[in-house]
Each structure stands twice: as C-alpha cells, then as structure tokens.
Amino acid sequence: MRDRRIPSDPLIHLSNINTSVDRRHDRRALMHEEFTRLLDAARAGKAIEGMSGPDRAMLYVLAGWTGFRKGELGSLTKSSFCLDEAPATVTVAAGYSKRRRTDTQILHPEVVDQLKAWLTGKKLAPDQLLFVISERAGGLERDTSNMIRRDLVRARELWLKDAATDAERKQRDESDFLRYETRDGLFADFHSLRHFFITSLERSGISPKMAQTLARHSDIRLTLGIYTHVGLHDQTAAIEALPGPSASQHEAAVSPRAIAG
C-alpha cells in the first residue's frame, strides 16, 4: 500500500498480539548460587548431546558472562578471542550476529582465566569451532536447552541431598531453586543465560544505558522489560540499601533510647 500497488491494506483489521498476556515461553534469570551449582554439576557430569561436562560448563560461562545467543556462541573459534589484550575481548562475525554486524564483547578477567585453562591441551585450529552446537554456524544442531535441563536436574538432586534435616529437605523440595521450570511456568532454558547476563548487570548497579549497550539492544524497553528480572530478593536488597528515615529532633529527644540515656 505504501508503494501504491494496492488500493488498501488487507491486514488493516488485524491488531498486534499483547505479548504480556500471550507469551509462549517465559524465562527467568538464575540466581548466582544456582549458576554456580549448575557449573559444578556440568563439570562433573557425563556427555550430553555429544558435549562433555567441562565443555558444557565453559559454554554456560560464556553465555552467562557475554549474553551471546546460541548461534553466536556456536560460531566462535580461537581466532574470535583476544585473550592477551587489555581488555580481553571476544568477537562475533557479522554473519552470525543477530544484528548482522560485527559484535565485540569485553571479557571478565575470571572468564579469561577459565578460558585459558580450558583451551590448554585442546588441539584446535584457529578457525575450528569451539562449540559444535549450531548448524547455521557450520556445526551440528544440538539441543542446548536439553543440556541445561539435565544439568539443572542433577544440580538440584545434589542440592536436595545436601539437606541436613528432613525439615530442610522438605523446605528445599517445595522451592523452585534449580528447577528448569518453576511452578509459575518460568523456564531456565539455554536462552535464559542471556537473561542471567542482563539481569546480573542490573543487580550490579549498572546504568540502564550501559546495560542496553552490553546487551546489544536497539530499544532499552527490551533490556528493561523482557530481559531484566527483578525478584523478591532483589527488591528486598534494594529497600535495605536505602538510608533509613531520620527521626526529627523532637522524636529523638523522647525516644526510649534517649530517655534511657
């Protein structure tokens, strides 16, 4: 219709779906303790989807500390990294970035150390894929959500086993800690690691604009409205971080503490 090749818009009667009430797969951001236990379970676990436990753990770390998507992670090779630069970086080629442009992300120093240790002993050509998980990147299509689901199941089993008493075991069993799907229908699938990355920025006090930049979002509403998850724990920490209300001089003078003094 804009090009005037048809007289009217045949879709004019349609309206956009309200995604807040018609969502197919809502996700949650893991808490840091959950993420740590997930890594422990993966490192000690058997191969899943043809990928060893240590390799899965490294994949989860990169996803959780870069925010890269499955296809972007699946395109990475040794030449994608500059680990000895200051700062160290990882780059996704434009052909594999969702934005269709080259994306470079700064790496956390601890991630750099783990990467170097993980790469030690691996005989990989500079252009050889590190994680063969994406057909689009020239590898095999692997179910990464099945990987994380099974690692979460194992991590939760170990966590439940660590309960000191029957009462504590019952309390843990009733919680959503380390569940792949919570009772509210929120999923901790592979893409939720991107949610974890962006939510971690907010939890660390990063400004919304910086979070948007690191998330590589064109619209800050996407960063704040979809990928940033604020739970009860986060709200409690925020309230407790506020300065308390100062008592007036009169209230201070007649307070029990003042009278006792």
Q: pLDDT category, 51, cuts 50, 70, 90?
A: very high
Which domains are assigned to the chain? 25-230 (1.10.443.10)
Mean pLDDT of the chain: 82
- Would the pLDDT of 33 be above 90? yes
Integer Cα distance of 191 and 187 in angstroms = 9
Q: pLDDT category, 236, cuts 50, 70, 90?
A: low
For position 95, what pLDDT does the model report?
Answer: 82
Report the range of poorest mean pLDDT among 85-89, 95-99, 139-143.
95-99
Of residues 70 and 1, which shows the higher confidence score? 70
Q: Over range 191-214, report the average pLDDT.
A: 80
Integer Cα distance of 108 and 36 in angstroms = 16
Could you tell me the two tokens for 135?
Answer: 């057909």
Q: pLDDT category, 260, cuts 50, 70, 90?
A: very low
Q: Over range 188-205, report the average pLDDT.
A: 86
Q: pLDDT category, 230, cuts 50, 70, 90?
A: very low
| Chain CA centroid to CA 149, Å | 14
**In sequence order, what DSSP letters do the residues of 144-187 get, joined into one string?**
HHHHHHHHHHHHHHHHHHT-SSHHHHHHHHTS-TT-SB-TTS-B
Percentage of the residues of the chain whose pLDDT score is greater than 70: 77
